[in-house]
Structure 1
């Protein structure tokens, strides 16, 4: 069994898809877990569940229609070289857990889901398993005049998972992926459940070791 260690999750996803970088789960037909998204903590739990069960439906439920994923500034140069026509956005000054001096390259929900679909054709991925939890280290709430919480900004740290890939009847590759720092900006959907409107990858520069 061969091991590869990847210290930024965006790298491993490029390895598997050869296209824009998705987050992964796979198709499935089980019942959806809407109740998980009734709290910000439940949303993060559903995110982990979507990976481990490889269920695209659970993952897609997490994303707002206006969803955007923002590329880590540490990965910016490599990303621009690979995708020179990608969109960029000025920092959201309403957020407190991101670097507001940076502009961020991003992609949208449709591209995120499309990338997942491409990944699902890779039948060599046999298992995805978290061995270190994705932990919420800070939360910030935005409250309307009526006292209702309308947005939540989450800062998460840590978190790591393994991806097992079958290369042949006698060979399996195990990728170890460290997630590091992430920021999620949440809003409520029409069912008043939490969804991700913005997802910032703030992890360190990619480092792949055989």
Structure 2
């Protein structure tokens, strides 16, 4: 009887299929350590939010060609997805994307927006209004800092042009990375922050 039970247990164990490993979260380049982000945050110029009314999304040309037929959007989709395949025009035809803001898992590129960590309008009121169009184009297509993220489309739309004092990712576990990335972009591009923005970023960095 014991041998029968043991054999049954072995058979049951052999029939168990391991759950697939979760798709990895995207990791854009240049995310600093928490200590570095705190140092960078302390060095940023604090300035009141003043909307001069001159912002226009077209003043930040995007998505430009990055390599071959791939523009910045398609580049980030390939970089941050898993098993991404593309057609001759570099459009993603299949793959899996995990949105770090909300944990959503998507298999259609149409469900993904490429978010500017620091929104274009926020950049405008933080100093980009004084830039050349060429520099704004570089900012809008910056693949060398943690500025571009593949995220769930409606979550990106909810964020819109809000700074961290007005909007935070649905996943509180992402607060630390979000704040580090936001600070890095502002630091890299010498953009200003508001006092409310600084306070929110400080609180988020304290979750690291």
TM range (shorter): under 0.3
Choose between structure 1 and 2: higher strand proportion. 1
Larger radius of gyration between Structure 1 and Structure 2:
2
TM-score (norm 1): 0.21
TM-score (norm 2): 0.22
